[in-house]
Amino acid sequence: MTTIKHKIDDAKDLHDEPFGDVVLRHLIYSVGKDKTHAEARDWNVAVSLAVRDRMVEGWIDTTRHVYARQQKRVYYLSMEFMIGRMLEDNLTNLGLLSEAKEFIASQGLDVETVLHAEQDAALGNGGLGRLAACFMDSMATTGVAGMGYGIRYQHGIFRQTLEDGWQMEEPEDWLFEGNSWEFRRPEVVYEIGFGGHVTHDADGKATWTPAESVQAVAFDMPIAGWEGDHVNTLRLWSARQSGMMNLDTFNDGDFMAAARQQVLAETISKVLYPGDHTPQGRELRLKQEVFFTSASLQDMLRRFFTNYDNLDNLGDHVAVQLNDTHPAIAVPELIRILMDLHGYTFERALEITRETLHYTNHTLLPEALEKWPKDLFEHILPRHLQIINMIDGHFYQEAMAKGLDHHIIAGIQVIHPHQQDWVRMGNLAFIGSRKVNGVSALHTELMKQTVFHDLHTMYPDKIINQTNGVTPRRWLLECNPGLAGLITEQIGDGWIDDLEQLQKIAPLATDAAFQKAYRAVKSANKQRLADMVQERTGITLNTDAIFDTQIKRIHEYKRQHMNIMEAIALYNAIKADPEGTKRGAAWQPRVKIFAGKAAPSYFFAKLIIKLINDVAAVVNNDPDIGDKLKVVFLPNYNVSMAEVLIPGSDLSEQISTAGFEASGTGNMKFALNGALTIGTLDGANVEMLDHVGEDNIFIFGLKADEVAERQHRRARPSEVIKNSPMLQQIMSQLSDGTFSDGETERYRDFLTNVGDHDYFQVIPDFQAYWDMQRQLDGLYQNAEAWFEKAILNTARMGWFSSDRTIRSYADQIWRAPHKMSGT
């Protein structure tokens, strides 16, 4: 039986009780069912509660230790946490997985069905939210006293369905069946104010009287690190009406009026805003940001005051990380608390804030840099706006002292002094933080050169890089048990929390027996993926084909449309030469797999989804093509689906326009699981190239500076198209209805976008992309050469563990203690 290192006295008994008995006890007394009537979901809950019991011990113990040692605390503020399912993760980290599986099987149940009878917690849009989840795992594993703060959305990211190939959105309802992992903390409640007015007394002390307020109620989830001894907390806030419903109104029969306040208040944590890189959804979104940021700051300061009696040295004991600008309101909110509630001067309050807050930027796309109309801001946050004006005044003096020109200063103040239109959250976050980081080396460089150029000149030491990483627990150990087992057989299990140990398998890359075993694992994972595709789409896949996968949010800069255009070109080429006699080689079969959601208001992204489905309908039903090419779009991409797609893929598509993908993290997950990467020199691909070596990654296309140069001079794609029969054929098929049942209008916007402007440089990169794909076709036919590279990818990806990333944040940003690797 597994033990947990730190036991707490009051819970001793639990260890003596076999795990299966605890599950059965929960099935009866917590779920209220007996064995004969229990369904998969009931068993899932019972097992979850049994694991949760064990986690609670480490949790209470960790909390005690952190208090006792007065360990520096790290708070990760994020609008999004894309944590997925938690049961397998927690069983794994607590070392209970095999015991639980055996027990489930012993009850005559299907293990997978029970473990998977849990809805994904999909409280995020994409990479930013998933990164936050990996960081939670790694903070616990590396012993950082970390706490995540976010919103307990009642509805996470929408459920994507397809209607005639078009994306439809349906509300998601993850809490309907309950959440076994959370603890409601009704005693942890804060008031969050909006609107109202500000008065100043004779000494200048401000008092803000909000016009309305809502309550934030805490829900906690324990987050266990590897081996379960360090357990941190993810605290999510749920909105609730302040004060009780007006019973008089209700008794008078005006039920609607009585319910109105409640509905308005609860709306704040109702839905995750589904915009990815598209600035919309005004007032509610701003309120959501204020809501969770203010509650989190109030909560961390309350905790701080249990150990200290003033806030002078806050930054020595507390580090706050702002996950993008969504919590940037923390800057004026912390200053407000320090000034208005604790009597600090503005200057001192700003200093303390700048010792405590840090900001991570995740995108350079100008339309994704958050800004709020000043009027809206003033309406909702009158006191914060005053403070922002003070920050701007102070900043102006600082900038003048450093010799900056006042036009330049105007461009980087939070509010442009002459235009007075927008509150620019990136500038606010930058000015109010001690450190600002990018998420890959290239991205950080571009931050310095572009969006934050002038701020960087002023504070040359503020921007630093922290290349993203992924947790090896979820993204190798759990999602790929076959490969994990094979690695452990060879080098032991030290790699699980010290991923650089994977280097030790590099010498086996050419070892025949190891290659054979590695290939067998890949084949089994491909079969599992093929089964999922069969079940969800009815399409039968040939597992000898290259499984070529692109899974991520749908966006022009990510260029799923370049990928599907390549599929069209391949289709045309096979049609023209079905047996490959003219080209002198048979076609390498290929399966193109796509999955991802488009922002509901992003028409072009939805059109790309439609095109993928239209091409699939033609290609998959063409008898001349057969197994040589299949195109698959899997609806409703989420974390659980990624856990099947990543281990089962041969090829990973990381083909963004160079300079646009801040980092990527899917790229890391694929390579770790032995898929080869076809990609551009963008984001973390650049660093992956350094680690795996140029023979083991397939880089093509324009570089970031070449892209910028072409965009700057508005280079048109027409010349390139004129010289490419392949592109001409694709473009004319898109306008003659080949893929749209003869409808010639459907892809008109597409043709204008790509054929006339091509801001994202699909056309100039196309030939290089095609050539690289054909090179990969050839390579795949030499299995030994292919798998040598695949194994070397796995062996050399150790640096991309999020444990490394977190230790680096802890050392270079948070100045917070952590365990060294492998200890």
Picking from 464, 466, 526, the residue whose alpha carbon sits closest to that of residue 651 is: 526
Q: Give the pair of three-digit tokens for residue 722.
A: 């004129």
Query: For residue 594, with 0-12 CB atoms within 10 Å meaning exposed, 13-18 middle and 19 or more buried, which class applies?
Result: buried
597 is catalytic: no
**Runs of H (alpha helix) within 269-404:** 282-304, 314-317, 330-336, 346-356, 374-380, 382-401
Query: For residue 288, with 0-12 CB atoms within 10 Å meaning exposed, 13-18 middle and 19 or more buried, which class applies?
Result: buried
Residue closer to ligand NBX by CB (options 142, 663) is: 663
Of the residues 558, 592, 610, 796, which is catalytic?
558
The residue assigned the tokens 């019972």 is: 46
Q: Does 679 bind ligand NBX (CB under 6 A)?
A: no
Q: Does 315 bind ligand NBX (CB under 6 A)?
A: no
CA 268, chain centre distance (Å) = 22
Picking from 430, 253, 418, the residue whose alpha carbon sits closest to that of residue 324 is: 430
Applying CB under 6 A, the site for ligand NBX has a residue count of: 19
Residue closer to ligand NBX by CB (options 326, 561) is: 326
Among positions 179, 437, 471, 665, the unique one binding ligand NBX when judged by CB under 6 A:
665
With CB under 6 A as the contact rule, which of the stretches 39-47, 630-638, 639-647, 662-670 interacts with ligand NBX? 662-670
**Pairwise CA distance, residues 605 & 597, whole Å:** 9
Q: Which residue is nearest to ligand NBX (CB)?
A: 127
Residues 610-649 that bind ligand NBX (CB under 6 A): none
**Pairwise CA distance, residues 668 & 130, whole Å:** 13
Distances (CA, A) of 641 to 249, 364, 442, 529: 48, 28, 29, 9
Residue closer to ligand NBX by CB (options 24, 131) is: 131
Among positions 663, 696, 724, 793, the unique one binding ligand NBX when judged by CB under 6 A:
663
Of the residues 336, 553, 555, 610, which is catalytic?
553
The minimum distance between CB 662 and ligand NBX, in angstroms, equals 4
**Pairwise CA distance, residues 86 & 118, whole Å:** 8
Residues 352-391 that bind ligand NBX (CB under 6 A): 362-363, 368
The minimum distance between CB 273 and ligand NBX, in angstroms, equals 7
The minimum distance between CB 276 and ligand NBX, in angstroms, equals 5
Among positions 4, 236, 439, 486, the unique one binding ligand NBX when judged by CB under 6 A:
439
Residue closer to ligand NBX by CB (options 324, 478) is: 324
Of the residues 326, 552, 555, 807, which is catalytic?
552
Q: What is the number of helices (H) and of strands (E) in the chain?
A: 34, 23
**Pairwise CA distance, residues 366 & 621, whole Å:** 42
Of the residues 85, 384, 456, 669, which is catalytic?
669
Residues 232-261 that bind ligand NBX (CB under 6 A): none
Picking from 127, 122, 278, the residue whose alpha carbon sits closest to that of residue 663 is: 127
Q: Does 661 bind ligand NBX (CB under 6 A)?
A: yes
Q: Does 662 bind ligand NBX (CB under 6 A)?
A: yes
Of the residues 233, 360, 665, 677, which is catalytic?
665
Name the residue type at position 274. Answer: P
Q: Are 243 and 76 in contact (CB under 8 A)?
A: no
Of the residues 362, 462, 473, 630, which is catalytic?
362
Residue closer to ligand NBX by CB (options 371, 630) is: 371
Residue closer to ligand NBX by CB (options 229, 661) is: 661
Please say whether the dihedral angle defined by the alpha carbons of residues 101, 102, 103 and 104, taken in this order, is positive or negative: positive
The minimum distance between CB 159 and ligand NBX, in angstroms, equals 18
Residue closer to ligand NBX by CB (options 363, 680) is: 363
With CB under 6 A as the contact rule, which of the stretches 91-99, 214-222, 275-283, 767-775 interacts with ligand NBX? 275-283
**Pairwise CA distance, residues 481 & 635, whole Å:** 25
Residue closer to ligand NBX by CB (options 596, 798) is: 596
Among positions 269, 468, 525, 549, the unique one binding ligand NBX when judged by CB under 6 A:
468
Count of Cβ atoms closer than 10 Å to residue 28 Cβ: 14
With CB under 6 A as the contact rule, which of the stretches 213-221, 274-282, 700-708, 796-804 interacts with ligand NBX? 274-282
Query: For residue 668, with 0-12 CB atoms within 10 Å meaning exposed, 13-18 middle and 19 or more buried, which class applies?
Result: buried
553 is catalytic: yes
Dihedral of the alpha carbons of 654, 660, 666, 671, in degrees to the nearest 10? 50
444 is catalytic: no
665 is catalytic: yes
Q: Does 425 bind ligand NBX (CB under 6 A)?
A: no
Radius of gyration of the chain (CA): 27
∠ at Cα 781 (727, 650), nearest 5°?
Answer: 75
Distances (CA, A) of 67 to 71, 132, 144, 236, 716: 7, 24, 13, 21, 62
Residue closer to ligand NBX by CB (options 285, 703) is: 285
Among positions 146, 225, 683, 755, the unique one binding ligand NBX when judged by CB under 6 A:
683
* Residues 6+ away with beta carbon under 8 Å from 629: 567, 570, 571, 574, 587, 589, 590, 591, 592, 619
The minimum distance between CB 470 and ligand NBX, in angstroms, equals 10
606 is catalytic: no
With CB under 6 A as the contact rule, which of the stretches 10-18, 391-399, 525-533, 658-666 interacts with ligand NBX? 658-666
Residue closer to ligand NBX by CB (options 466, 821) is: 466
Residues 108-137 that bind ligand NBX (CB under 6 A): 125-128, 131
DSSP codes, 411-429? HHSSS-TTT--EEEHHHHH
69 is catalytic: no
**Pairwise CA distance, residues 278 & 125, whole Å:** 12
Residue closer to ligand NBX by CB (options 465, 724) is: 465
Among positions 225, 332, 469, 664, the unique one binding ligand NBX when judged by CB under 6 A:
664
Among positions 88, 120, 137, 276, the unique one binding ligand NBX when judged by CB under 6 A:
276
Residue closer to ligand NBX by CB (options 275, 481) is: 275
Tell me the catalytic residues.
362, 552-553, 558, 665, 669
The binding site for ligand NBX (CB under 6 A) comprises 125-128, 131, 275-277, 362-363, 368, 439, 468, 661-665, 683
